[in-house]
Amino acid sequence: MNFKENRLVKYFYEAKEELEKVTWPTRRETVVATLVVIAVSVGTAAFLGALDFGLNKGLSALIAR
């Protein structure tokens, strides 16, 4: 049995070939993309936190009437 005939071995062989074709990002591109993800995550968390706080205060004031 030829090693390329085994489906699992063939899968890994072809995956290795495809990974050799990939154009990997530079270190700077990776750092910039990571910082963008962190900034968007923090911004989203701040927005949702402020929205939650505001709605909580508004609902509390409405119930306290």
Token digits of residue 48: 């949702």
Instruction: Tell me whether residue 32 is in a domain.
Output: yes
Domain count of the fold of the chain: 1
10: pLDDT strictly greater than 90: no
Residue with tokens 């701040």: 46
Domain range for residue 50? Answer: 25-65
SS3 at position 26? coil
Instruction: Tell me whether residue 46 is in a domain.
Output: yes
> What pTM does this model have?
0.66
Where does the pLDDT of residue 65 fall: very low under 50, low under 70, confident under 90, or very high at 90 and above?
Answer: confident
Average pLDDT over residues 3-22: 87
Instruction: Tell me whether residue 42 is in a domain.
Output: yes
Where does the pLDDT of residue 6 fall: very low under 50, low under 70, confident under 90, or very high at 90 and above?
Answer: confident
Instruction: Tell me whether residue 6 is in a domain.
Output: no
Average pLDDT over residues 5-27: 91
Instruction: Tell me whether residue 12 is in a domain.
Output: no
